[in-house]
Structures are given as C-alpha cells and as structure tokens.
Structure 1
Amino acid sequence: MTIRKKPVISPRREPRQARSEQMVADILEAAIRVLQSDGVERFTMVRLAEVAGVSVGSLYQYFPNRESLFFRLQQASWGETVDRVQEILVDPNATLEQKVAASVSAVFRANEAEGDLRKAMSEAGAPFRDSPEAIAERERGQQRAIAFFRYALPEASESDIVFIADFISTTTEALAERVSDRRLARHETERWAKAAAEMFSLYIKARACSRTDG
C-alpha cells in the first residue's frame, strides 16, 4: 500500500523587505484572479507566475507548491473573517440578535468563498486544519467569542460561557462548510444562515433565562 506524502503547506520563506512583501502581495492577488478565471483544476504555478509578472523561480522562493499558496489564501480569509466578526460583536448600535445574525452570515459567506480552496487542500491531503496557523486562528476567534458572551450573559458561569462560545462557533463553522459544499444559490445559503442565527439567538436567550430564573 502506497501512502501519499502530505504536501508542505508552510511558505518556503517569509518576506523581510518592503519589496519582497509587495511581491508576495502581488502574487496572492494574482492567485485570486487565476482561481476566478481558470478554477482550481487548471491552476498552475506557471500560469500564476505569468499573471503575477514574476519568474517561476521567484514564485518558488516563497511557495514550494500550489497547496502552500492556497493555504496562505485560506489563512488570510480566516483572519479577515475573525476580524469581521469582531467588528460585528463590538458594534454598540446592534442588538444581540443582529450581532448573531450578522456574525453567522459572515461565516457562511466566508465558507462559500473558500469552497474551492478547501476542496483543493483536502484532495491534496494537505493537513491545513491541524496546522499551527489554523489552530491559532481558531483560538483567536474563540477568545473573542468568549469575551462577547461574557458581556452578553453576565450571569453565566465561566464554564458555561466557554461552552456556549465553543458550541456556537463549532456548530456555525461545521454547518457553514457543509452548506457551502452543496453549492447552493446565494439566497439559499443566506436562508440557512438566517435559520442558524435564529436558532442560536433562541438558545442564548434560553440560557440567559435559565440563569436568571435559577
């Protein structure tokens, strides 16, 4: 039995100068354009170098393979989603229901956009979920969710808050990924997101009432 070697997903090296940082930024921007025009199946490093306006050698200085480049794009998407959800959760003008609905919608939309990347990484056997970068992003999002529920549920115990944050974050991410894999129309995806948000809002209210009544 032949065991397929898992591809390297870490970058070959990190840019240290402004010129190098700009080159990597240009490469990532070009990668998005190539994915949009050619799709994952026809995405090649040669094609990317052509669109980015760099040599193939320069491209390989930073990314050992296309999986490492896909992972960098996925990592950036994770970071943007965590930051977007944080903006929503600290909005002083939004109600709890509005914050939950907007946060869930943001996660669903991010998963919808990441669908092709996630599929490509999975087919390549790339262990992106267990990478230090992925774990760090999940932890960052979890800590922000915990901080939100400390504020939203002031009567809840710390163990309850941690569980609620973990339950809602894990369920939202898993559901959003499953829905995105079905390639539904945007309005259908939003319908799923709205239903999930309503369910979570009712759950949070029930938890708040149980603590108050108790």
Structure 2
Amino acid sequence: MIIQIENSHMSARPGTSLKPRKQPRQARSQATVDAIFDATIQVLLADGLQKLTTIRVAERAGASVGTLYQYYPHKQALLYAVLERHLGRIGATLEEAAASVHGEPLAKMVAVVVRAFVKAKTADMEEGRALYAVVGELDCRPLIALAQQRGRSALAAMLATATDAWFDDLPTVTYMFSTAMMGAMQAVMEGTAPAKLTRALPGQLESLCLGYLERASTPPSRTSR
C-alpha cells in the first residue's frame, strides 16, 4: 500500500528474473544480506540510482561481489529485494496498528492507523525517496499491488469491527481510505507538499480520513449486521 505505480519501468532486460537466487537461512547469512541491503540504500543516497553498481554495494557492505551474487544475480534483483523489504516493514506496521484497535470507535481507529502510517513512512524520508526512484526503473507493479492489497485487507478487517459505524460497501470505503493516505504521503515524498502541511500531516490526514469515513458510514443501530 505504499507507493503509487507509474507506468515507466525497465532497466532489467526483458525476461530477466527479479527473484533472488536464494534466501538466507542462518543468522550469519541474514546479517550479511541485511548489510548488503543497508549498503544499497547508502550507495543510492550517496551516488544516485544510475551510479549504483553491485561492486560499490559490496564494498560498502564489507562483502565480496561473489557473496552478493550468491543471493542476487544482478543489481535489478537487489534493488527489487530492498524495495520489498521496505514495503514489508511498512505493511507490518500498518497491520499491527490496525489489529491493535479492532473493536474500537472509528475515531480511535483512524487516529492510531494514520499516525502509525505517517510515522513509518517518515522515519527515514531519504530512504523512502531513494527507493521511490527504484519504482521508475523496475517493473514493480506486482510487488506494489501485493503491498497495497495487504494494507487494504488490514484496514477492511479493522473497519468491520468499528463499534460506532457500519459500511455497506466496505471494499470501496477501504480503497478510498488507503488511497487518501497514499496520495497525501506521495506528495510529501515527492517534495510537492507545502512545508507547513508536511509538519502537520498526521493531524490533517486524520481529519481528512475520519471525515470521509464518518460520511460513508451508517450507525450500527440502524442496520442489522
């Protein structure tokens, strides 16, 4: 649910797989892959996407290029995996926040979810912006679609338990709720949002989402669940 999809993509040759060669199975291997991921972000920030190479990443990670290639056959597969980790972290944060307010009033649900989402997205703005550029280089549509569906599922499960609201068309409402959060955050990530809005984003976004959800809802007492 986190990054909206542009139609521009490529970089990997047609038919090139973006899947890793293997997954780390031991703590030591996982630590190596984590170091490679962190180094990828550092190189992106320092040198930019076009100058990123597997050699530079391996040097920054303190690993050999051969070690990197054990997991990722080329830089496109590496970048895809780093983006997948980033989206996974945000998705897990959203799921945890949504699950924590099941059975609560709508206002509390919105406050908890919106603030958790904004915090996760702005915890490292530079990393998020660096990875935003990756989306334009690779065909990440399946990955992003999966992340978006994960977020919407968590929101739908939460909204279905609201104590003071009922939604006749929960899929549409959930879609609009998640899109409102993504759209506002996209403007911040792209640097097009006013600085004042960026600072006040949690409260402003909470008001926006809650206002929509209240208008789209029906009090439970007027329906039979």
Do Structure 1 and Structure 2 share a fold, with TM-score over 0.5? yes
Cα separation, 1, equivalents of 2:74 and 2:43: 15
Q: Which residue does 1:98 correspond to in 2?
A: 111
TM-score of the aligned structures, taking structure 2 as reference length: 0.74
**Could you say which residue in structure 1 is the equivalent of 2:58?**
49
Residue 150 (structure 2) aligned to one of 137, 140, 144: 140
Structure 1 residues 185, 68: closer, same or farther in 2, change over 3 A? Answer: farther
Deviations, residues 15-47 of structure 1 (Å, cap 9, x unaligned): 334443332122112223333433434322111
**Number of positions where the alignment pairs a residue of Structure 1 with one of Structure 2:** 207
Secondary structure of residue in 2 paired with 1:195? helix
Cα distance in 2 for partners of 1:200, 1:172 equals 8
Aligned twin of 2:7: none
Letter in structure 1 aligned against 2:206: A
Match runs of 1:32-71 below 5 Å: 32-71=41-80
Cα offset, 1:189, TM superposition: 2.2
Q: Are residues 1:178 and 2:191 paired? A: no
Q: Which runs of 5+ in 2 are unaligned?
A: 1-9
Superposition deviation, residue 202 in structure 1: 0.8
Matches of 1:183 and 1:66, distance apart in 2: 29
Partner of 2:134: 120
- SS of equivalent residue, structure 1 residue 151: coil
Measure how far apart 1:193 and its partner are. 4.8
Higher helix share: 1
Give the direction of change, closer, same or farther, for the CA distance of 1:156–1:117 in structure 2 (3 Å limit).
same
**TM-score when scaled to structure 1?**
0.77
Matching residue's letter, 1:178: A
Measured in 1, the distance between the counterparts of 2:124 and 2:141 equals 14
How far is the alpha carbon of 1:211 from its aligned partner?
6.5
